[in-house]
């Protein structure tokens, strides 16, 4: 009888062990979560939060495997009419080990972003999306130095973007799209730790000139589309960047596309539609290997032939609508359109003896081997050289003005006496100096070059090899 009693007691003790040690959840965290549930004023939304059970097993909650503290709280509804209303409970700030906080698809969640979130110093990801949250993007987020992701998309946030966000050393993605934000992109954003965060700021009311400091960044994604931003965004381009997605569409940007370079390996998405971008499509785009989306439509001053090669012919005509571009996939260039691509002579290429400009057959005629006639209405662009021996870019801008359409042809040289003789100098449409040649669109121009071959391909000699050697010896 005694032995049976002892066995029974042992059984009771063993069976009670799982009950005593099954509670992983920290008691203080559990208390906070129950208060959080109460503050939401919807007992059905978090019905699984039973105070008699381990809170680490509750729906929408995740505990750390080692500390058993709450590190993840995610409230997500799959039903758009979820009857969860009110503000974010202040008690959310009492979970000191929280690293991930998500509110998603809760349209009746309103009010500002809860200020007590500033106490969550371990927070790495803050995601509040598809809610009725309003008010400003809080500046206190800059205090949360561990933040890697701020995603506040599809809300009703307003006001300006806090410049202090650039103080977040680990931020990898800033997503503020589809709100009602106004004002400029802060200049301070150029001081983000490199490569800088992805900037997803589309579908707002941002305005003003874009800061040149953003050229310091090299994130994977930049989406500034559907705002009212303006100015020169060319600093966002570059062959050494690692950009995958660049969307500047539906803004007021104004810059010359012609001389820009692009990441050949990484770029897959480039959308520039509905801006005031001018110049021509650079040949460099044909070197981009994996371009999957491309759109330059509704840039009315974008002109010239679409370069052949790469992926540019794989896009439909909608990608080029409402421009002055021609060539496949658009209709062929007419005789009044010059098939010309921007050319840059690098310093190490100065010994090269000629530049090639592909011109419409009927736009160029020759009176002799030494005389060239370029007809009016030619939609050409300048040829830029990058070296000390040629005009610097500032001189080009000063000479030609900010609207290239007023200078339809321009060949820029240094010490180019061969371009200084003008057979018809009285024509105001044509100007020529010791270092430049430009033409506007009023009448035909006749100029003296040597030597010249003007058929479908026009070759303009810079220096002969003999002259190059002679000048080198004299120098």
Q: Assess whether pLDDT exceeds 80 at residue 453.
A: no
Please give the Cα distance from 101 to 450 (Å, whole number).
Answer: 72
Domain boundary (326, 359, 382) is at: 326
Is 75 in the same domain as 198? yes
Is 16 inside a domain boundary?
no
Is 14 inside a domain boundary?
no
Task: Please write the tens of the pLDDT for every residue from 92-121.
Answer: 999 999 999 999 999 999 999 999 999 999
Task: Please write the tens of the pLDDT for every residue from 376-429.
Answer: 333 333 333 333 333 333 333 333 333 332 222 333 332 233 332 222 322 323
Tell me the β-bridge partners of 174: 150, 199
Is 298 in the same domain as 443? no
Domain boundary (291, 326, 361) is at: 326
Is 249 in the same domain as 375? no
Tokens of 289: 């290997």
Is 276 inside a domain boundary?
yes
Task: Please write the tens of the pLDDT for every residue from 336-359.
Answer: 444 343 333 333 333 333 333 333
Is 459 in the same domain as 321? no
Is 68 in the same domain as 104? yes
Is 419 in the same domain as 315? no
For residue 285, the model assigns a pLDDT of 96
CA distances from 232 to 118, 185, 277 (A): 36, 14, 9
Selection from 236, 217, 118 nearest residue 173 by Cα: 217
Q: Which residues contact 50 (CB under 8 A, 6 or more apart)?
A: 58
**pTM here?**
0.71
Tell me the β-bridge partners of 156: 134
Is 22 inside a domain boundary?
no
Is 139 inside a domain boundary?
yes
Is 106 in the same domain as 221? yes
Please give the Cα distance from 21 to 262 (Å, whole number).
Answer: 60
Is 37 inside a domain boundary?
yes
- Residue corresponding to tokens 């009703």: 156
Task: Please write the tens of the pLDDT for every residue from 179-196.
Answer: 999 999 999 999 999 999
Is 424 inside a domain boundary?
yes
Backbone torsions φ then ψ of 326, nearest 5 degrees = -150, 170
More confident residue, 360 or 277: 277
Please give the Cα distance from 338 to 307 (Å, whole number).
Answer: 12
3-state secondary structure at position 380: coil
Q: How far apart are the first and last CA of the chain?
A: 119
Tokens of 420: 């200084």
Is 289 in the same domain as 412? no
Please give the Cα distance from 284 to 239 (Å, whole number).
Answer: 9
In this predicted structure, which of 28-42, 135-149, 396-410 has the lowest mean pLDDT?
396-410
Task: Please write the tens of the pLDDT for every residue from 301-348.
Answer: 999 999 999 999 999 999 999 999 999 999 998 744 443 433 333 333
Please give the Cα distance from 238 to 379 (Å, whole number).
Answer: 26
CA distances from 227 to 202, 208, 220, 252, 458 (A): 7, 10, 20, 8, 43
Is 308 in the same domain as 349? no
Please give the Cα distance from 90 to 366 (Å, whole number).
Answer: 81
Task: Please write the tens of the pLDDT for every residue from 46-70.
Answer: 888 999 999 999 989 999 999 999 9
Is 50 in the same domain as 94? yes
Work out the number of other CB atoms within 10 angstroms of the CB of residue 121.
Answer: 12
Is 284 in the same domain as 357? no
CATH number at residue 319: 3.80.10.10
Domain housing 43: 27-326
Domain boundary (269, 295, 326) is at: 326
Selection from 174, 190, 175, 205 nearest residue 235 by Cα: 190
Total number of domains constituting the chain: 2
Task: Please write the tens of the pLDDT for every residue from 268-311.
Answer: 999 999 999 999 999 999 999 999 999 999 999 999 999 999 99
Is 2 inside a domain boundary?
no
3-state secondary structure at position 73: strand
Is 288 in the same domain as 212? yes
Average pLDDT over all residues of the chain: 75
């Amino acid at each position: 009888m005694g032995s049976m009693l002892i066995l029974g007691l042992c059984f009771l003790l063993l069976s009670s062990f799982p009950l005593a040690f099954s509670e992983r959840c920290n008691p203080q965290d559990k208390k906070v979560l129950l208060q959080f549930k109460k503050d939401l004023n919807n007992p059905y939304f978090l019905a699984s939060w039973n105070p008699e059970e381990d809170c680490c097993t509750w729906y929408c909650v995740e505990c750390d495997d080692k500390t058993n503290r709450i590190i993840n709280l995610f409230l997500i509804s799959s039903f758009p009419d979820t009857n969860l209303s009110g503000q974010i409970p202040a008690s959310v700030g009492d979970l000191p080990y929280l690293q991930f906080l998500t509110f998603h698809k809760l349209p009746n969640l309103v009010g500002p972003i809860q200020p007590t979130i500033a106490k969550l110093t371990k927070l790495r990801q803050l995601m509040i999306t598809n809610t009725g949250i309003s008010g400003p993007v809080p500046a206190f987020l800059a205090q949360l130095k561990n933040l890697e992701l701020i995603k506040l998309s599809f809300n009703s946030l307003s006001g300006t973007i806090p410049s202090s966000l650039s103080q977040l050393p680990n931020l990898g993605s800033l997503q503020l799209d589809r709100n009602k934000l106004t004002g400029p992109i802060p200049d301070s954003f150029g001081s983000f730790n490199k490569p800088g965060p992805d900037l997803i700021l589309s579908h707002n009311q941002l305005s003003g000139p874009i800061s040149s400091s953003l050229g310091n960044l090299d994130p994977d994604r930049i989406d500034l589309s559907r705002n009212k931003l303006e100015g020169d965004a060319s600093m966002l381009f570059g062959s050494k960047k690692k950009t995958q997605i660049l969307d500047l569409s539906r803004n007021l940007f104004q810059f010359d596309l012609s001389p820009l370079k692009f990441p050949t390996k990484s770029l897959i998405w480039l959308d520039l539609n509905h801006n005031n971008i001018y110049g021509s499509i650079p040949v460099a785009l044909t070197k981009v290997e994996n371009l999957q989306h491309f759109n330059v439509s509704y840039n009315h001053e974008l002109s010239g032939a679409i370069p052949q090669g790469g992926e540019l012919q794989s896009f439909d005509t909608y990608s080029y609508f409402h421009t002055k571009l021609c060539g496949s996939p658009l209709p062929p260039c007419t005789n009044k359109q010059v098939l010309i691509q921007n050319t840059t002579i690098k310093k190490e290429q100065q010994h090269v003896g000629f530049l090639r400009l592909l011109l419409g057959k009927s736009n160029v005629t020759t009176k002799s081997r030494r005389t060239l006639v370029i007809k009016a209405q030619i939609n050409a662009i300048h040829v830029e050289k990058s070296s000390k021996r040629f005009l610097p870019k500032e001189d080009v801008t000063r000479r030609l003005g900010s609207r290239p359409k007023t200078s339809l042809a321009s060949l820029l040289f240094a010490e180019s006496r061969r371009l200084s003789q003008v057979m018809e100098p009285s024509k105001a449409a044509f100007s020529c100096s010791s270092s430049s040649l430009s033409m506007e669109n009023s009448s035909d121009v006749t100029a003296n070059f040597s030597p010249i071959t003007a058929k479908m391909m026009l070759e303009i000699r810079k220096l002969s090899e003999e002259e190059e050697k002679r000048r080198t010896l004299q120098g």
